[in-house]
Amino acid sequence: MLNITTEIMEVKDEDGSIRKREYAIVNGIADLDSFVLSSGYRSAHFYNVEVLDILLGHSFNEVGKSFGMIGYGEEFDWWEDYLSIDVYCSKYYHQTIPGIRVKLQLQDWEYWAKPWSMSKLAEEFKTNIIKSSDSSIQYWQDDEESMLNGFGVDYHPSNDNLIIGEQVKRLMSKLEHVVMETNRNLLEYIDSGAVFTYFQFPEEIKTACEQYLIYFNQFLKDLGIEAETEIKEQAKSTLFKVMPKDKNEALDKIKEALEVYINIPGINDSDFENMGNGDVAFFQLQANIMHLKSQLMFANATIELKDATIQALRLSNYQLTSNSSDRENEKIEDEESIIPNILSVKKFEWKGIIVNTPVFVRQLKRFGRNKLI
């Protein structure tokens, strides 16, 4: 049962003047920082977390008996500032009921340091909202000419008997995906000469996985490709960027090498050993894979992960997306001989990715080196 009452309190402003403010009491818990507007359509803005939990645990219809709209702010680790959330529960001016409006707040303009403009961010965000093909979620912008007066999304649940908190959670899940996709696209637009891949590693194994990614630079060198790599934390994901030093270097070759690299740890140990081509490059790769596996197995023993099997050791399990483009069909041999007439390795498919292991076994070589380092 939801019991909402209000009381009037006196507030002293900074200039010493006294004014009266109406605040809300929900199920006996007072939100002294809240403010209620009773003129026109009744609304309230809340700050107390305990009070908000109670309100969000009820339906639009139940809350709507007391307020046409309730508002609050919340922070998420996938957005750089807080989100302003307005929930429309019963008749409230021109708003469709029930409804949720999210305003995406941005950092102070004077501290904006992104390599793209705020308007470009809003434009790309709008594009990705449309691409999501969810008719219940629409992009809004207060001023058609500029997003500086506010922009965000409107969401309209199917009926007012739904629980508010569950609908907010559903919306935030979709919004998180759109925001992350927007950031990825913006990064790729400004640097089309690089390969971007995003991972979402569990916190317990993030360090080990990122250490393995760092070695990819050497892996490329052993394939005859000079490149620089960069790892950045972005919201809840890890951005891995590979930039070839030779701008004429085919990015598709780097993408394919990365696809192979992140799947190699999933190969059975004995099978992988049999792939050895006798070069120091292979042995160092093997050492790095063994280190990664030991770290993941340690994490498994520590936090009792349910699936630290060979399959789970493929880093592609944690791959969110990459800026892979359509590749032309290439004729690639189906297998590579390791021991003539006895042992060969074949390319394999994993989550829709064709991993041409034989090609890379054939090419892997430590150029200019003849001993293990």
Which domain-ending residue is among 155, 189, 223? Answer: 189
Whether residues 347 and 201 share a domain: the answer is yes
Each residue of 69-94: pLDDT tens digit?
999 999 988 887 889 999 999 999 99
Domain annotation covers residue 66: yes
**Together in a domain, 79 and 142:** yes
pLDDT at 110: 67
Name the domain boundary from 125, 155, 189.
189
- What is the structure's pLDDT at 331? 35
Domain carrying residue 295: 193-363
- The answer for residues whose C-beta is within 8 angstroms of residue 250's C-beta and 6 or more apart is none
- Whether 315 is covered by a domain: the verdict is yes
Q: What is the pLDDT of residues 313-364, one digit of tens each?
A: 566 667 765 654 333 333 334 444 433 443 334 444 434 444 555 556 556 7
Q: Are residues 271 and 180 in the same domain?
A: no
pLDDT averaged over the chain?
Answer: 80
Judge whether residue 195 has pLDDT over 80. yes
Q: Are 126 and 248 in a shared domain? A: no
**Structural domain count, the chain:** 2
Specify whether 224 is located in the same domain as 170. no
pLDDT tens digits, residue range 304-322? 544 444 344 566 667 765 6
| C-alpha to C-alpha distance for 369 and 283, rounded to whole angstroms | 12
Give the predicted TM-score (pTM) of the model. Answer: 0.65
Could you tell me if 200 and 236 lie in one domain?
yes
Percent of the chain with pLDDT over 70: 77
> Within this chain, do residues 146 and 210 fall inside the same structural domain, yes or no?
no
End-to-end CA distance of the chain: 69
Do 253 and 135 belong together in one domain? no
Q: Does residue 254 share a domain with residue 179?
A: no
Q: What is the pLDDT of residues 213-265, one digit of tens each?
A: 999 999 998 888 888 998 888 666 788 889 888 877 678 888 888 888 888 88
Whether 168 and 265 map to the same domain: the answer is no
DSSP string, 136-170: TEEEEEEETTEEEEEEEEEE--S-TTSBHHHHHHH
Query: Degrees (nearest 5) of the Cα angle 366, 354, 309?
Result: 80
Q: Exposed/middle/buried for 162, CB within 10 Å: 0-12, 13-18, 19+? A: middle
Which of 157, 189, 221 represents a domain boundary (last residue)? 189
311-315-318-321 Cα dihedral, nearest 10 degrees: -120
> In which band, very low, low, confident or very high, does the pLDDT at 303 lie, cut at 50, 70 and 90?
low
